A = this chain, B = another copy of it.
Amino acid sequence: MNIPKKMKAVVLMGPSKVEVQDVETPVPGPQDVLINVQATAVCGSDVSLIAKPWEAQPPYGSFIIGHEYAGIVAAVGSTVDEFQVGDRVAVEASYGCGRCRNCRLGYYTACLNYGNRQRGHRANGFTTNGGFAQYAVNHINTVHKIPDSVEFNEAALITNLGCILYGFQTVGGYVVGDSVAVVGPGPLGLVSVGVARALCAGKIFLVGTRDSRLQMGKAMGADRLININQENAVEVIRRETQGMGADLVIESSGATTGPQMAVEMCKRMGKVLLVGYPEEPAPVNFSMMGMRNVHIFSVRGEGWANCGRGISLLSQGRISLKPLATHSFPLGQIEEAFRTFTERIGGAIKVIVHPNA
């Protein structure tokens, strides 16, 4: 593959200021691959870190954003024989340092050296350059082959699936016949419904406020839609689970009322999984949590190699992320892409950018 010396990339220049620039094409290290990026998705965390820098973020003027992408292997590092030029691949964001206690135990998305490049940590699109660019360098641990049957637009969303699978694994991973309540039909909530269905959960409730999104959840596998403008979600769930509450509640709304509502929906000895997080401190009745012996779990990133598992799900056709990819733009229209995402123009859920279109 003929690799140009210069490429186009979206560089963060200042608060809420991005620019498409010509920059040097990066060179892969011994354990890396160079990816010719075909599709990169806009994520809520992109919006957040553009507005205000996150932990360990590279300086303005040099930082290429974007962490959800897929493409074609264009070159491989000196020790790499796991991949070949031409492989179709999708990526995840986090490469742990490999030397802290958490990484040694396999918790690389909770690397204790987060942002410490000297010690080897990288998080593309967060602490190192990402995928709103024609080329990107990834450590092979963050790269997954995808079959021809999976399109780049869908593959670019793999971290969403990997994150939710990681959440399911965090709470045990075995939900056959269990009742599951998902609160908030955003991208992660919809994927949660799809994963619960794929893993053979019993009754799946989806709680939200907009009927259009709830209907999408039905297509993903929800059994019972609850629009909280019309029904009391806690009461409905309790009534339709023989008074017990749900075995698993996945809070995806990120609302300040979310965690407490999740506890109220939950069965004694049930589990709450947070995948959306309110920005403000949120009050919870911990006495109720204790009386019910409920546990609250969180996820960060797409741990325990679950992106690879997610690609298997896509390959098997057990879940489809295509309905989420509602809009797409060329790299030159990056600002319109972001605006479409943040303002949900035309019912946008996930917006895809094509750097090499």
Whole-angstrom distance between the alpha carbons of A173 and B79 in the complex? Answer: 35
Out of B168, B173, B297, which one reaches A172, CB within 8 Å? B173
- Complex Cα spacing A337 to B290, Å: 27
* Residues of chain B with a CB closer than 8 A to A322's CB: none
* 276-319 of chain A: CB within 8 A of chain B: 277-279, 281-287, 289-301, 303-306, 308-313, 316, 318
Indicate if the CB atoms of A281 and B284 lie closer than 8 Å: yes
Q: Give the residues in chain B near A289, CB-CB below 8 Å.
A: 274, 277, 298
| A142, chain B: closest CB distance, angstroms | 10
Contact B120 A79 (CB under 8 A): yes
Q: Mark A164-176, 1 if CB is under 8 A from B, else 0.
A: 0100111011101
Interface assignment of A153: CB less than 8 Å from any CB of chain B: no
Q: Is the CB of A290 within 8 A of B269?
A: no
Q: Across the interface, do A299 and B293 meet the contact criterion of CB distance under 8 Å? A: yes
Q: How large is the interface on A (under 10, 10 to 19, 20 to 34, 35 or more residues)?
A: 35 or more
**What's the Cα separation between A299 and B299 when bound, in Å?**
21
Contacts of A311 in B (CB 8 A): 177
Find out whether the CB atom of B141 lies under 8 angstroms from the CB atom of A292.
no
Among B169, B274, B293, B312, which residue has its beta carbon within 8 angstroms of that of A109?
Answer: B293
Number of copies: 4
B285–A105 contact, CB under 8 A? no
**Which listed residue, B105, B277, B293, B301, touches A287 by the CB 8 Å rule?**
B277
**Contact assessment for A290 and B274 in the assembled complex, using a CB-CB cutoff below 8 Å:** yes
Report Cα–Cα, A293/B275, bound state, in Å.
10
Residues of A within 8 A of B (CB): 31, 55, 79, 81-82, 98-99, 101-102, 104-112, 114, 118-120, 140-141, 165, 168-170, 172-174, 176-178, 198-200, 202, 244, 259-260, 267-269, 274, 277-279, 281-287, 289-301, 303-306, 308-313, 316, 318
Q: Please name 18 pairs of A and B residues whose Cβ atoms are closer than 8 Å in the assembled complex, sorted by A.
A: A55-B291, A81-B119, A82-B99, A99-B140, A102-B268, A104-B141, A104-B305, A110-B293, A112-B244, A168-B174, A176-B309, A177-B310, A177-B311, A199-B200, A200-B312, A281-B283, A283-B284, A290-B300
A274 to chain B: which residues have CB within 8 Å? 286, 289-290
Whether A110 touches B287, Cβ cut-off 8 Å, given contacts A174-B172, A312-B202, is no
